[in-house]
Structure 1
């Protein structure tokens, strides 16, 4: 196909002079792209749009004279291997991928963005795609061939849509800008999700964070009556809303021979809890997953065997949303419950747990109107949203976007909360993945549990693992030592005070292959580093705005690189509870590495130079 030669016009790297190294130029080279598999009976055409310098949008279209099954094919294009030192992918790689470069592929998002970057995390090439199926039938792969990297997009390989089509179009974004890879990845995500980002910005409830969750005390069998009595103490922590764990269902009694109709008398404890939080001005969100289960005898009699999988830990089946009667039942169940027991919203992020990308039960078709599970879930959530919005416009329906990994498919589960400090690296990794893909609209909500025996320093470091996301905490105040409570209060206050910087400024995680041990956020007012491993951090010649370096490591030694003779820096040092422990002037005699002892879980703040801006 001659037209495909145009596509490589944007992927052949040609550096013409030393001055162009910082921002490479690209020229046409028709030899580095290949169509694999053919497209018959479809004919194809291609169009290229230049979005900006070194950033392009490609339209690849198929046309058939009559409706036909979509063909299985691939588009591959080549890129110089010596320009790329690391690879980042928002999904697990396909079986067709093989390469020896350091790679990162634990994000497990619903769509794929691939980035080739340098050792210092600068973008060289980032690409993604989008079509009317939200890229569900498009895979990505990377292969090495001598001095070349082959980037590929595979179409309609696994579980292609059963319906025939006459027209098909895919958009492909290719970004060669020499910018931090984090910026290129988020720009690619915005390219795909811009309309949804705009809707999320309108609906975003910025006053809901930080969130207190009843998850940990409920799982430690602390009665809700006791939790209710402790709600007053939450005001000293500055929580704005409460997420009630699914364990509330064990407190209420279901009427016999009903689908999910609760005895009003058994809701008394929940009513007291609800009234108390209203007095405190806290919003209330319910985690309510039971209706998706098929263990209720009435449900079993009515809907069996319309199940999609067996959930072993709970020893029950999960209802199959590909049936219209199942979707109608779920929508009605939630609507009826909400009308009788209103809250500020439901939490639906658990849908990923019930309907993972895993084998489903193969059964006779008893009237399914969907083959694809995800499309059926989309239809279910649309129906849920329409019905509940009629009852209460603006009701919260969980995060706007599905949370991304790390992928834990081997365990068929995902983190929903953590207690031990050893889980902090994985939690931080998940936090970064979601920030990369969704920016300030991140759906990250790993609930941080606090055990009474946790050391306050470790509590600080756990909080620092979620500091660049929306904090959700769970603990029982009465059992916590005073130093732990002081630590929690300080870091929640720190998050609220610096929220705009932490959540809405430039977000730059570093060292991709090592799972982001350094994170930087910055705007014109402040710079904040989260340091989770040993790293030589460069200090500027002149400090123009405060620089906070948070020591989230277990050790206290931090190395700073000074690139100028005789540099000096005023600083303040705080421990993990936010207590000022030192004020001094750091003086260097020559270009070297300066080591400073910063309390583990604490931070050092470099103050603006008095001459800055003069």
Structure 2
């Protein structure tokens, strides 16, 4: 059915072998937004093959790049025979944006289905110069559904990428009744992580000594990663699953956490949620309740469709918060919860057939239980498991592991910020060689400036200049938190991986410049401008709409002032800058 006076923007083909009947309707919102609703009924009881297929075409006109939540550095158009994107509750999110060379949306498609496994194709159809879109949901995902509803959201609004993604985010929140987990203020302050600096070689004494150093430098929280539960230092998962503090390392976890709290720091602890290693005490008890066995990790992925498995996991998180008094959990690897080819769909004792549904049950139980003991509990998830269905259960989304790669951190942060609303976004842990120069340390920190910085270096080994650089930029992050983390992020040149990223309030604007020879246009209506110089060029090109008298202050990577003066700004002016430093211009 097509509502009167609505002209569909595309011709859609729908195949539905999993259901006998389908009803369709179009709804238009404004001039360039449509919602295409499908209601399937009378299930056919299929268990194999494709259950629903939705396809359409769009002419390739003024389209240069393709964006999706985990595209990373690959923003290029693909052929229609390329592998489709796969989304589910714990992997990515069902949205694809086609943009032009000026970061403007030309066609965005999003789905209301954020829990089930969905395959989304969006590639060039060679025969006629169109983009062929296809959405597939396999019959196994729909087997237990007597009826099924899905909505396709389409936008041809000529707005920036960050604007259309924020509208998709808002639509998900309204359509799917997504209530994001509240973010406590302390989740946005700089955090120290033990992973890159210590890996598994940790103990209560070592961490308390490092926490004391971290507190003096301005860190608010210590995140204790892998190693607290094992003496094994092989970085595998064969010993995961019992989640007992290793007694030689942590004779009393509760007392250890209390000593950290007495320093004035918060405490978060890591759990590898899905893995049960072959050396765990409970391996024999639960080895028949796994989704699959990962030979490389020497661990099984627990089958959370069993209620006793969910209860088993919940007890550990409850103990950490209720007894040890930790302030947050780093829940890792939940994107491993999905069927493999040899996973049995039916098992005696499971309470739901879908692993994604079981994951939602687990996360609902975990957050509800932990909030009883700490209403401000912090829960961190890592990039890939960052979709709208995860936001009610985690208030920190962190960039995926990218040691010493500032550019990857920047890319991940911007992509997360555009789609995550109020959820706190964190950088991956930053590390560097002990002999690294301060300028390059500063540039790495600047690449993560629009997120909460996580740092993982041995603080005792920092040189004086390295320490001064770190302290200056962490303090800068705190002092400009509203502008850096809460104001709307406005990245530029998505196809070139965001060489300039901006934020702005009524009184102040900030631009981080990651590539040389960029002309930065300033808004004369804003009284203060801060330009973060995250590249090695020694000159910035600044453009004002008209000549005016300004005050400029140039700082180097350590925060020290190298020049402070008044000058008359011309329409476009070349100003000296310091690599890894910043330029402040005020009227």
Q: How would you bin the TM-score normalised by the shorter chain?
A: 0.7 to 0.9
Please give the alpha-carbon distance, in whole angstroms, between the structure 2 residues aligned to 1:238 and 1:91.
32
1:591-612 per-residue CA deviation (whole Å, 9 max, x = no partner) reads 6x5433311111112212xxxx
Cα distance, 1:540 vs structure 2: 3.9
Please give the alpha-carbon distance, in whole angstroms, between the structure 2 residues aligned to 1:68 and 1:207.
50
Give the paired residue count: 560
Please give the alpha-carbon distance, in whole angstroms, between the structure 2 residues aligned to 1:567 and 1:147.
53
The answer to whether the Cα contact below 8 Å between 1:287 and 1:347 also exists between their aligned partners in 2 is: yes
Please give the alpha-carbon distance, in whole angstroms, between the structure 1 residues aligned to 2:424 and 2:130.
31
Which residue is equivalent to 1:149?
Answer: 130
SS of alignment partner, residue 42 of structure 1? strand
| Aligned alpha-carbon RMSD (Å) | 3.9
Aligned pair partner of 1:478 in 456, 460, 467: 460
Aligned pair partner of 1:33 in 2, 5, 11: 11
What are the residue-to-residue correspondences of 1:187-206 with 2, within 5 Å?
187-194=167-174, 199-200=179-180, 203-206=182-185
Shift of the 454–303 alpha-carbon distance from structure 1 to 2, 3 Å rule, reads same
The answer to whether the Cα contact below 8 Å between 2:254 and 2:323 also exists between their aligned partners in 1 is: no
1:509-538 per-residue CA deviation (whole Å, 9 max, x = no partner) reads 121122222211112121111111134324
Which residue is equivalent to 1:167?
Answer: 147
Please give the alpha-carbon distance, in whole angstroms, between the structure 2 residues aligned to 1:471 and 1:441.
15
- Is residue 395 of structure 2 the alignment partner of residue 382 of structure 1? no
Please give the alpha-carbon distance, in whole angstroms, between the structure 2 residues aligned to 1:486 and 1:503.
23
Which residue is equivalent to 2:260?
Answer: 277
Cα distance, 1:491 vs structure 2: 0.8
Cα distance, 1:400 vs structure 2: 10
SS of alignment partner, residue 180 of structure 2? helix
Shift of the 260–249 alpha-carbon distance from structure 1 to 2, 3 Å rule, reads closer
Which residue is equivalent to 2:392?
Answer: none
The answer to whether the Cα contact below 8 Å between 2:245 and 2:253 also exists between their aligned partners in 1 is: no
What are the residue-to-residue correspondences of 1:454-465 with 2, within 5 Å?
454-465=436-447
Which residue is equivalent to 2:34?
Answer: 56
Task: Compute the TM-score of the two structures, normalised by the length of structure 2.
Answer: 0.83
- Is residue 64 of structure 2 the alignment partner of residue 85 of structure 1? yes
Shift of the 198–359 alpha-carbon distance from structure 1 to 2, 3 Å rule, reads closer
The answer to whether the Cα contact below 8 Å between 1:190 and 1:197 also exists between their aligned partners in 2 is: no
The answer to whether the Cα contact below 8 Å between 2:429 and 2:454 also exists between their aligned partners in 1 is: yes
What are the residue-to-residue correspondences of 1:33-432 with 2, within 5 Å?
33-37=11-15, 42-64=20-42, 68-69=45-46, 72-91=51-70, 98=79, 110-131=92-113, 134=115, 136-144=117-125, 149-156=130-137, 158=138, 160-194=140-174, 199-200=179-180, 203-208=182-187, 209-219=189-199, 221=201, 224-250=204-230, 259-260=242-243, 267-268=250-251, 270-271=253-254, 273-289=256-272, 292-312=275-295, 314-336=297-319, 338-352=321-335, 354-355=336-337, 359=340, 361-362=342-343, 366-367=347-348, 368-399=350-381, 403=385, 417-420=401-404, 423-432=405-414
Shift of the 419–458 alpha-carbon distance from structure 1 to 2, 3 Å rule, reads farther
Q: Which runs of 5+ in 1 are unaligned?
A: 12-31, 406-413, 609-614
Please give the alpha-carbon distance, in whole angstroms, between the structure 1 residues aligned to 2:478 and 2:333.
27
Q: Which runs of 5+ in 2 are unaligned?
A: 233-238, 388-397
The answer to whether the Cα contact below 8 Å between 2:105 and 2:160 also exists between their aligned partners in 1 is: yes
Please give the alpha-carbon distance, in whole angstroms, between the structure 2 residues aligned to 1:247 and 1:605.
44
The answer to whether the Cα contact below 8 Å between 1:182 and 1:508 also exists between their aligned partners in 2 is: yes
1:35-77 per-residue CA deviation (whole Å, 9 max, x = no partner) reads 153568533333333333422323222233x664497444344
Please give the alpha-carbon distance, in whole angstroms, between the structure 1 residues aligned to 2:176 and 2:220.
25
Task: Please identify, of 486-495 and 595-604, the stretch whose mean Cα deviation from structure 2 is larger.
Answer: 595-604
Cα distance, 1:249 vs structure 2: 2.1
Shift of the 474–164 alpha-carbon distance from structure 1 to 2, 3 Å rule, reads closer
Please give the alpha-carbon distance, in whole angstroms, between the structure 2 residues aligned to 1:502 and 1:113.
25
The answer to whether the Cα contact below 8 Å between 2:33 and 2:154 also exists between their aligned partners in 1 is: yes
Please give the alpha-carbon distance, in whole angstroms, between the structure 2 residues aligned to 1:62 and 1:222.
54
1:449-508 per-residue CA deviation (whole Å, 9 max, x = no partner) reads 244322221211111111111211123322111111111111111111111111121211
SS of alignment partner, residue 490 of structure 2? strand
Cα distance, 1:87 vs structure 2: 2.4
The answer to whether the Cα contact below 8 Å between 1:415 and 1:446 also exists between their aligned partners in 2 is: yes
Task: Please identify, of 479-488 and 234-243, the stretch whose mean Cα deviation from structure 2 is larger.
Answer: 234-243
Task: Compute the TM-score of the two structures, normalised by the length of structure 1.
Answer: 0.79
Which residue is equivalent to 1:409?
Answer: none
Which residue is equivalent to 1:9?
Answer: 7
- With CA pairs under 8 Å and 6+ residues apart, which has the higher RCO, 1 or 2? 2
Task: Please identify, of 575-584 and 323-332, the stretch whose mean Cα deviation from structure 2 is larger.
Answer: 323-332
Shift of the 59–326 alpha-carbon distance from structure 1 to 2, 3 Å rule, reads same
